[in-house]
Amino acid sequence: MDFEGIGNESVVRSDRVLLHGVTSPDAIVSVNGVILEVQPDGTFELTLPLDPGPNIVDIVASDLEGNSINSSLAIISIPEDSG
């Protein structure tokens, strides 16, 4: 499972972030417990709301055989209006 555009300990000046990545086309992907739709090419995306300050994002990708990959990202949100 690979992510594009955002990494661990990223700092964003927004109250949301677009999380997108790629995995195997038959995978089931969840972000913070929400199951995402994986496209036939294996891509997935989610606009994730963020609280000000540190946010932990838990991502799990699993396949039909029961194999799973767990990842966590720390994303720090500093909204534009917070000075």
pLDDT in tens, 5-15: 678 889 999 99
pTM for this predicted structure: 0.80
In a domain, 25, yes or no: yes
Nearest CA among 11, 29, 9, 12 for reference residue 20: 29
> Can you tell me the mean pLDDT for 32-43?
95
Domain coverage including residue 36: 2-78
pLDDT at 73: 92
| pLDDT of 3 higher than 70 | no
Average pLDDT, the chain: 90
Looking at the DSSP assignment, which residues form a beta bridge with residue 2? 22
pLDDT at 6: 79
Residue where the block lists tokens 């500093």:
78
* CATH code, 11: 2.60.40.10
Counted domains in the chain: 1
In a domain, 28, yes or no: yes
In a domain, 62, yes or no: yes
In a domain, 21, yes or no: yes
In a domain, 83, yes or no: no
